[in-house]
Structures are given as structure tokens and as C-alpha cells.
Amino acid sequence: MYLYVEMWKPRKTWDGLSREQRQEYLFQMSTGINKMVDSGIQLVGLALNDGDVPNDADYRYMAVWKMPNRGHVHMLEKAVRAEGWDNYFEIGNARGQIISVDEAIEDMVCC
């Protein structure tokens, strides 16, 4: 099982779109998201970044996904690229296989 964290903030190209263009683009994206959810990917949640958190990542939005395997991770990454998400948003991502607290501690100790 994998966790995938997406963070993004608008680029000037997004700011240049009309409200209607933004709605149309996001509606198209939602169709793809629904297909991914149907394939076993779970959207844990979406959030607006508080912005006043220590060591802020400086992104406006975030999404956390839970995915059955790395193949699903690649499916999401491919879909995001194909839809041109990075044309409109600066993106920061993190992903990794879910591990236990003990495994995380062991990795921090040894590496």
C-alpha cells in the first residue's frame, strides 16, 4: 500500500484563465479522478494549507491518496502529466510505501 501526497499552487497561466475556463478544466479532471477511485485508489482528503505551520511547504492546496500498489501511483502521475496540470500549477509531490512506526524508527536510526 502506498501514500501519495500532492501539493500545488497556481501559476500565472491559471490566473489568466476565466472562471468558466477553470471550471471546465477542473470538470474534465474530476472525470479522471473518478476513474482512478473506481480502480482502487482512495482519495483520503483535500485541504487548503494553513500557511502558518512551522516549516511551511509554501503550497496552497494538498491532496493525500492511498493506493494499492506502485502501479496505481504511476497511473496517477501519468494522468496528471497527460492533463497538463503542471501548465497551470507549481507542483510538489511525495510518495512511499506505507510502513510501521517501528520500521520508520529503525530507518531513522540506521541510515
* pLDDT at site 99: 96
Each domain of the chain, given as residue ranges in start order, spans: 2-110
Confidence of residue 53 (pLDDT cuts 50, 70, 90): confident
Q: What is the pLDDT of residues 69-89, one digit of tens each?
A: 999 999 889 888 888 999 999
* pLDDT at site 37: 83
- The CA-atom distances, in angstroms, between 6 and each of 55, 93, 108 are 17, 5, 24
* pLDDT at site 64: 96
With the C-alpha atoms ordered 49, 66, 28, 88, is the resulting torsion angle positive or negative? positive
Q: What is the model's pTM?
A: 0.85
CB atoms closer than 10 angstroms to residue 108: 8
Q: Is the pLDDT of residue 51 over 80?
A: no
Return the ∠ at Cα 95 (arms to 93 and 101), rounded to 5°. 130
How many angstroms separate the CA atoms of 41 and 56, rounded? 27
* pLDDT at site 40: 87
Confidence of residue 17 (pLDDT cuts 50, 70, 90): very high
Looking at residues 95-110, what average pLDDT do you find? 95
Superfamily of domain 2-110: Apc35880; domain 1 (3.30.70.1030)
Looking at residues 19-35, what average pLDDT do you find? 90
